Amino acid sequence: MPFDKGTFLLVDYTIKVKDEDRVIETTDAEIAKKANIYDENEVYEPRLVILGEGWLLKSLEDELMKMNEGEEKEIELPPEKAFGKRSPDNIKVYPARELIRRRVRPIVGTRVEIDGRIGIIRSVGSGRVVIDFNHPLAGKTLLCKIKAVKKIEDEMEKIKALIHRRAPKVDINKFDVSRENDVVVIKLPPEIRDAEGGRIFKYSLFRDITKYISGVRVVRFIEEYEVERKEEKAEEKVPKKPAKAKEEEKQEQA
């Protein structure tokens, strides 16, 4: 049966720019390597999507909602269903002095943020800087190969999927997860407990679980620390015989 909004779904996909036959994103490590976009910091595997949450392009989510578990599709997305058409209104000219005042170095090709908008510097000259705020893929037609790998229905699996999304490089089996009424308890492994971003991880996961898992109000994190002690083996000491006893022993042997 087709999926509904709010469905937890593991998805595999590869997205290309049609006219360039260029892969821009994929969940497949081999495809990423062949396209020279492989990132060793990424985890290549089916990705969790909660339909309706905007974690994928809306047009792709709309297609997924028509699919069945295990089904695979190839979809062509014109610009209006992908990242929109290019617009001259999104190309702005700034005085170089203003950018320098904002601590922005005017170098062609640099990606910059101005007033909350992300753009790319296209040209610099005569004291003026041209910045293109169109999305880098605006005006492009995309080819998408997408597969609805697995629908997650079990509540504990959903919680673990949310954990794995936040910590994809940590073995999910290292997390001890349980629920009692409106409280979810998560025992954290050392990889998370000792991580620099551990606090952000816990807060983000708390928001995910209370938003997407019905009835949960509290997420309790357990961090355990043990004192390492080296057990020292007591050396067996042979009691020394008094001098008088030694002398008597010698006489008996004689």
Distance CA 87, CA 104 (A): 24
Q: How far apart are CA 142 and CA 63, in angstroms?
A: 14
Tokens 């940590």 belong to which residue?
A: 170
Tokens of 96: 């170089």
88-132, what's its fold? Answer: Thrombin, subunit H (2.40.10)
CATH number belonging to domain 1-86+139-152: 3.10.50.40
Position 84 scores a pLDDT of 94
pLDDT of residue 239: 61
Q: What is the pLDDT of residue 36?
A: 97
Do the domains spanning 88-132 and 154-254 agree at the CATH topology level?
Answer: no
Confidence of residue 232 (pLDDT cuts 50, 70, 90): low
Q: Write down the pLDDT at residue 6.
A: 95
Please report, for residues 143, 247, 248, 254, the alpha-carbon distance to residue 242 in angstroms, rounded to integers and kept in the order given. 95, 9, 10, 19
Tens digits of residue pLDDT in 163-182: 999 999 999 999 999 999 99
With 60 as the cut, is the pLDDT of residue 245 above it? no
Asked if residue 219 has pLDDT above 90, the reply is yes
Q: Which CATH class is domain 154-254?
A: alpha beta
Burial 189-211 (b: 16+ CB within 10 A, else e): beebbeeeebeebbeebbebbbe
pLDDT confidence of residue 224: 87
**pLDDT tens digits for 191-217?**
998 888 889 999 999 999 999 999 999
Q: Whose CA is closest to 129, among 91, 168, 156, 73?
A: 91
Query: pLDDT for 95-141, tens place per residue?
Result: 999 999 999 989 999 999 998 999 999 999 999 999 999 999 999 99
109 vs 233, which has greater pLDDT?
109
- Of 83, 117, 80, the residue nearest 102 (C-alpha): 117
Please give the share of the chain, as a percent, with pLDDT higher than 70: 89
243 pLDDT band, cuts 50/70/90, is: low
Segments making up each domain of the chain, as ranges: 1-86+139-152, 88-132, 154-254
Average pLDDT, the chain: 91
Residue given tokens 């990889």 in the structure block: 191
pLDDT band, residue 235 (cuts 50/70/90): low
